Amino acid sequence: MVYRAESPGILSYKSIANSPGFVYFWDSIAQSPYIYNAEKKLFATYDDSGSVSKKTKYALDKGLGGIMFWRLSGDKPDGLLDVIDNEIKKSKN
């Protein structure tokens, strides 16, 4: 099956998060949230404190040099840098 998506341009999570019609989902494989508006056929992925926490723990457990998430200013404002810092501090205990 092939799915075709038409991009309406670049949308930040913050620009559409409170728009009516968006439903929150959690991808259990990617361990990351996304929102979808079926009427407008708009899909947006983003990071939140839960996904960043999981990414940080994974990187620390695997001895990786860091983690990546897209543009911080466009993501959900959950204090994502604080989440990373807290996970690093927990791992040192």
pLDDT digits (tens, 9 = 90+) for 38-87: 998 888 888 888 999 999 999 999 999 888 877 777 766 668 899 999 99
Return the pLDDT at 78. 67
For residue 35, the cross-strand partners are: 24, 44
The answer to whether 24 touches 45, Cβ cutoff 8 Å, is no
Burial class (CB in 10 A: 0-12, 13-18, 19+), 56: buried
The answer to whether 32 touches 51, Cβ cutoff 8 Å, is yes
Return the pLDDT at 62. 96
The answer to whether 69 touches 47, Cβ cutoff 8 Å, is yes
Q: How confident is the model at residue 4 (pLDDT cuts 50, 70, 90)?
A: very low
